[in-house]
Amino acid sequence: MTIDREAPIGVFDSGVGGLTVACEIMQNLPKERIVYFGDTARVPYGSKSRETVLRYSRQIVRFLQTQGVKAIVVACNTASALALDEIEKEIDIPIIGVIKSGARVAAATTKDDKVGVIATESTIQSGMYQDYIRKIDASIEVFGKACPLFVPLVEEGWMEDSITNQVIERYLSVFARQQIDTLILGCTHYPLLSKSIKEVMGAGVELVNPAYETAIELGGLLKRLDIESTIKETGEFPYRFFVSDAANKFTHFANSILPVATPVTQQINIEEY
């Protein structure tokens, strides 16, 4: 199969969080076009079962393939943890997720071989961050902690806030006795709390945000497969956005975090794919 190097990259997430990954791709691979899908009708994935997250992810991959994407980035940690391995076997275009990148940076960052991971319940239960890190270096100890209130707190807009700080302190207090020196922000919403998380963890703990590293990994992959885009300007706007619910709300959020103004977001019925 020949892959069209000028085809777009498919990026998907359970909702808006994956825009942080799309943003890194825009900044680091500026020639690449993007088709983004946010499953806002069924968000969040973080408390749902493997079976359900896999079914949802398969529908989204089928949708992205109708858009002619040349590669797919799973910008959702939960879907990367629960669905990526299966889907990789089922499709004939390259697909990468945020977890492997995050794991690799964390393994390279830790000096004392003690890494913490904060993520949704389903991501932590999957043990994927732990597995990937141990595959890289079996001597690294990995400690996971689910933080289910972080996403609703971010969505409520309580980013630098006394209540949010208390929630952060309560969740992260488990890491005090484990003396980690590296903490993976294993959910795309969490970087929006990084200032407060940094304060609680102190200067001795390095925070790892997999979004940037995923964009870099994607760049390497496209190069290796010789499917990088070579077109600088087509005149056409290079990014398209689709959601399963509440397109206007999504556009509003996208405009607040992306380096470009987002045109119309299209709503589709993902259950039909």
- Chain residues in the site for its own copies (CB under 8 A): 40-42, 47-49, 51-52, 55, 148-149, 152-153, 155-156, 162-163, 166-167, 170, 244-246, 269, 271
Q: Which residues are catalytic?
A: 76, 187
No. of H helices and E strands in the chain? 12, 10
Q: Minimum distance from CB of 149 to its own copies (Å)?
A: 6
Q: Minimum distance from CB of 151 to its own copies (Å)?
A: 8
Residue 12 and residue 38 in contact, taking contact as beta carbons nearer than 8 Å: yes
Q: Minimum distance from CB of 271 to its own copies (Å)?
A: 5
C-alpha–C-alpha distance, residues 59 and 94, integer Å: 17
Q: Minimum distance from CB of 44 to its own copies (Å)?
A: 8
Cα 25 to the center of its chain, rounded Å? 12
Q: Minimum distance from CB of 132 to its own copies (Å)?
A: 25
C-alpha–C-alpha distance, residues 98 and 137, integer Å: 19
Q: With respect to its own copies, which residue has the nearer C-beta, 45 or 132?
A: 45
Q: With respect to its own copies, which residue has the nearer C-beta, 136 or 264?
A: 264
Q: With respect to its own copies, which residue has the nearer C-beta, 110 or 244?
A: 244
φ, ψ of residue 244 to 5 degrees: the values are: -100, -5
Q: With respect to its own copies, which residue has the nearer C-beta, 51 or 160?
A: 51
Cα separations in angstroms, 21 against 164, 177, 266 = 24, 32, 20
Q: With respect to its own copies, which residue has the nearer C-beta, 10 or 44?
A: 44
For the purposes of burial, counting CB atoms within 10 Å of the CB of 6, is it exposed (0-12), middle (13-18) or buried (19 or more)?
middle
Classify residue 127 as left (phi > 0), alpha (psi -120 to 50) or beta.
left
